Amino acid sequence: MVVDDERANLVLMERLLRSDGYAHLIMVQDPRQVMDIYGEEQVDLVLLDIQMPYLDGFQVMEQFAALDDPLVPPILVLTAQASREYMLRALNVGARDFIGKPFDRAEVLARVRNMLDVQLAHRMTHNQKDVLEQMVRERTEEIRNTRLQVVQRLGRAAEYRDNETGYHILRMSHTSELIARHLGWNAAECERMLHASPMHDVGKIGIPDHILLKPGKLSPEEWRIMQTHTTIGGDILGGDESELLYLAREIALSHHEKWDGSGYPLGLEGDNIPMSGRIVALADVFDALTSERPYKKAWTVPDALDLIREGSGQHFDPNLTAIFFKLVPQILEIRDRFAEPPPLDLDEV
């Protein structure tokens, strides 16, 4: 782009540049049009006069500087005002080079060529930076997805040990996320809850089968061993600094604590129980009660809600319980959305 209020100077510069093989030239006589044209055209170099009506060259350079554009084109000042004062001011405002008029043809072409080479290198570096940033984003997303796959499979491993189904995990995790959202957790925190809560019982991997799968009542010693699934889960999920696994470990350790302090493994009471554990306790108990298992029939929804109501202030956080009851219609929608499939009829296979 060549900017000069004298048409004769524009004609001269156009001929000079075309004679050296430059074809994509934009000649601007009114400096007020420079920004509009720049917004529409990819400009790699600006040859700029200083003394012009409406806007002088310094004001045009200030407009370019105000764009805060990482690829703003270099500016070569061509002016009859060749004093040292003008030169220093131009260089300080944003010019990359300065040539006084009348100028030497060969010198102008050499400086134009050099400045275009520098701008081309600058563009290539910038584009490479974009490519590298995109690669980093893709790799970060890949690592995130891999971590999610690992934790989801950990959750499934615990399900298989306990004769539970993936549908229970889907229901309780979506219910936990729903409660967290209505508590005011942000989108990222709710997403972590959705993916961390399925690992709440991962510690059951370490419980012997004769205890975990026992159909009858556990002895005091068996119950003590059964309770260790919380700390086993904490050990399995510990040692990683990611926010997802930190939350999963917190839930594994605290979802059997009770509001009145009678829970396990630490006997935490009230607000000392992490909020995540209090949320998952509600979601997990409700779905466990209303789900059929080989060793029990499903409770009705009213009976399950009565138990939760009775447990408010004892087993469950009373404030969370109030929120839970407000969300019952949405929780039941989650229950229907992830309902257990009907058993397979072998006669139809």
pLDDT top residue among 164 and 118? 118
Beta bridge partners of 79: 100
Q: What is the 3-state secondary structure (H, E, C) of 82-97?
A: CCHHHHHHHHHHCCCE
How far, rounded to the nearest angstrom, does the alpha carbon of residue 157 sit from its chain's CA centroid? Answer: 28
**What pLDDT is stored for residue 346 in this prediction?**
44
208-245 residues labelled b (16+ CB within 10 A) or e (exposed): eeebbeeeeeeeeebeebbbbbbbbbbebbeeeeeebb
Closest CA relative to residue 209, chosen from 192, 232, 188, 226: 226
Report CA torsion sign: 146, 148, 154, 158: negative
Q: Read off the pLDDT band of 68 (50, 70, 90).
A: confident
Domains and CATH numbers, the chain: 2-131 (3.40.50.2300), 165-348 (1.10.3210.10)
Side-chain-facing half-sphere of 338: CA atoms under 13 Å: 19
* DSSP state at residue 20: T
pTM for the whole structure: 0.61
**What pLDDT is stored for residue 225 in this prediction?**
95
Question: In whole angstroms, what is the distance from residue 234 CA to residue 265 CA?
Answer: 11
Six token digits for residue 320:
């969370």
**What pLDDT is stored for residue 349 in this prediction?**
44
* pLDDT value at 33 more than 80: yes
**What pLDDT is stored for residue 165 in this prediction?**
57
Residue 205 and residue 161 in contact, taking contact as beta carbons nearer than 8 Å: yes
Closest CA relative to residue 275, chosen from 158, 184, 204, 172: 184
Residue 330, φ and ψ in degrees, nearest 5: -75, -35
Mean pLDDT highest for which of 4-18, 37-51, 241-255, 263-277?
263-277
pLDDT in tens, 172-183: 999 999 999 999
pLDDT in tens, 288-311: 999 877 667 889 999 999 999 999
pLDDT top residue among 159 and 340? 340
Mean local confidence (pLDDT), 78-99: 83
Give the C-alpha distances (Å, rounded to integers) separating 184 from 97, 245, 270, 285, 331.
56, 21, 20, 22, 17
Mean local confidence (pLDDT), 208-227: 89
Six token digits for residue 76:
């070569």
Element (H, E) at 277: helix 275-289
Question: In whole angstroms, what is the distance from residue 57 CA to residue 115 CA?
Answer: 19
Q: Read off the pLDDT band of 162 (50, 70, 90).
A: low
Mean local confidence (pLDDT), 180-194: 95
3-state secondary structure of 49: coil
Residue 267 and residue 316 in contact, taking contact as beta carbons nearer than 8 Å: no
State the first-to-last Cα distance of the chain, in angstroms, to the nearest integer.
76
Residue 253 and residue 219 in contact, taking contact as beta carbons nearer than 8 Å: no
Q: Read off the pLDDT band of 104 (50, 70, 90).
A: confident
Question: In whole angstroms, what is the distance from residue 203 CA to residue 253 CA?
Answer: 9
pLDDT in tens, 118-152: 888 888 877 777 777 778 777 777 766 776 677 66
